[in-house]
């Protein structure tokens, strides 16, 4: 029987407390060390001593570690852990810049370590169902993927804007469900909260496979919305990732009788199906996949190189927004 992996956690904030809960509950993992320079304000540590920094954590004899600290510390923390021979899952985005991310990916590859990034939407049951059904050709060619991710401002986020914090989810999930990287993007941003970072972004673009993409993301809405809409030649999928529901609106097959309508050569409304499937907690599934990857099993985890592509798309979107929405071509940077 395989021995339990000795796990460490860096960062005991809002995300850290969820990681700690799940790491303690999972088979095959033994949480032995936690660290946070700011202490343990949420009482996450339990009976473990709170180590002062990543260097102390890296010296604790770990097999794996989760990094859940602010974005600007991701690259340095993951580097320290990799140099100690520790497999690492870093919360998204991979780093503060795509260049830092590339250096990190190179380091983990060179050392033969599992390095992954917490794009947790890959483990949302609705999106897993969506990806499988698209791959099976259930709606034929995909024409468009549109996402909406709106909510109030999270006071805990202070070092990045809505693009790096939230758009990374939408960009990764879009490329992942379509299994195609981004070819080009343009964007517009808004700064309405008196902060130096954007709190609203609208991104338009195209994937390498030709599908049109649109993302509407903000921290300015009193309504929380997490929706992905995929339109294809035979119908439209709607995934509500807040509830993990997936619905298919099929194109109609019945002949139209109303003359003025039938002259329009579009589609008509067909059957609507809401799918039933098991709904596991995405973060639990992601951490289990991290465990399995370290044990040599294939998983759906985001690789560091895929995460670099996602961050490159975010950077290109912000560059476009600063230049009046200029179209920026990505080139072939990653394969999904």
User: Are 31 and 20 within 8 A, CB to CB?
Assistant: yes
Same domain, 99 and 137: no
Q: What is the CATH number of the domain that holds 37?
A: 3.40.50.720
Q: What is the CATH number of the domain that holds 132?
A: 3.30.360.10
Q: Which residue, among 25, 335, 54, 297, has the nearest Cα to 181 in the 3D structure?
A: 335
Same domain, 15 and 106: yes
Which residues are bridge partners to 71 per DSSP? none
Judged by DSSP in three states, 89 sits in strand
335 within some domain:
no
Structural domains of the chain, count: 2
Same domain, 136 and 167: yes
336 within some domain:
no
Range list of β-strands (E), 160-224: 182-190, 200-207, 212-218
Q: Which residue, among 323, 66, 36, 320, has the nearest Cα to 186 in the 3D structure?
A: 320
Long-range contacts of 154-158 (CB under 8 A, 24+ apart): 154/219, 156/13, 156/14, 158/70
Digitized pLDDT (tens) for each residue of the chain, 336 residues in all: 578 999 999 999 989 999 999 999 999 999 999 999 999 998 999 899 999 999 999 999 999 999 999 999 999 999 999 999 999 999 999 999 999 999 999 999 999 999 999 999 999 999 999 999 999 999 999 999 999 999 998 876 667 899 999 999 999 999 999 999 999 999 999 999 888 899 999 999 999 999 999 999 999 999 999 999 999 999 999 999 999 999 999 998 765 555 555 555 568 889 999 999 999 999 999 999 999 999 999 999 999 999 999 999 999 999 999 999 999 999 744 445
Q: What is the 3-state secondary structure (H, E, C) of 266-314?
A: CCCEEEEEECCCCCCCHHHHHHHHHHHHHCCCCCCCEEHHHHHHHHHHH
Same domain, 70 and 134: no
Give the span between the Cα atoms of 209 and 207, in whole angstroms: 5
Give the domain range for residue 321.
122-280+310-329
Judged by DSSP in three states, 147 sits in strand
Same domain, 75 and 142: no
Same domain, 27 and 165: no
């Amino acid at each position: 029987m395989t021995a339990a992996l000795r796990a460490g956690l860096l960062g005991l904030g809002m995300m850290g407390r969820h990681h700690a809960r799940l790491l303690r509950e999972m088979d095959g993992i033994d949480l032995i060390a936690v660290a946070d320079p700011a202490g343990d304000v949420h009482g996450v540590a339990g009976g473990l001593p709170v180590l002062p920094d990543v260097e102390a954590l890296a010296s604790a004899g770990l097999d794996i570690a989760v990094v859940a600290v602010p974005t600007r510390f991701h690259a340095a923390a993951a580097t320290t852990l990799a140099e100690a021979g520790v497999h690492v899952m870093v919360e998204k985005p991979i780093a503060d810049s795509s260049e830092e991310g590339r250096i990190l990916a190179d380091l983990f590859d060179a050392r033969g370590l599992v390095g992954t990034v917490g794009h947790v939407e890959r483990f949302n049951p609705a999106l897993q169902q969506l990806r499988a059904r698209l791959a099976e050709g259930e709606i034929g060619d995909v024409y468009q993927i549109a996402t909406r991710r709106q909510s109030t401002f999270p006071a805990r986020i202070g070092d990045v804007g809505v693009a790096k914090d939230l758009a990374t989810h939408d960009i990764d999930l879009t490329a992942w469900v379509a299994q195609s990287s981004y070819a080009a993007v343009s964007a517009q941003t808004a700064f309405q909260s008196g902060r130096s970072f954007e709190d609203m972004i609208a991104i338009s673009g195209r994937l390498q496979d030709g599908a049109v993409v649109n993302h509407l993301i903000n921290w300015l809405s009193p309504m929380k919305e997490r929706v992905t809409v995929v339109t294809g030649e035979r119908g439209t999928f709607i995934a509500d990732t807040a509830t993990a529901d997936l619905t298919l609106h099929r194109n109609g097959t019945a002949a139209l009788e109303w003359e003025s309508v039938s002259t329009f050569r579009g589609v008509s409304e067909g059957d609507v199906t809401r799918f039933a499937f098991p709904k596991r907690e995405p973060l639990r599934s992601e951490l289990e996949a991290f465990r399995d990857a370290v044990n040599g099993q294939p998983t759906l985890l985001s690789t560091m190189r895929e995460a670099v592509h996602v961050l490159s798309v975010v950077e290109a979107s912000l560059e476009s927004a600063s230049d009046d929405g200029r179209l920026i071509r990505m080139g072939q940077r990653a394969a999904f």
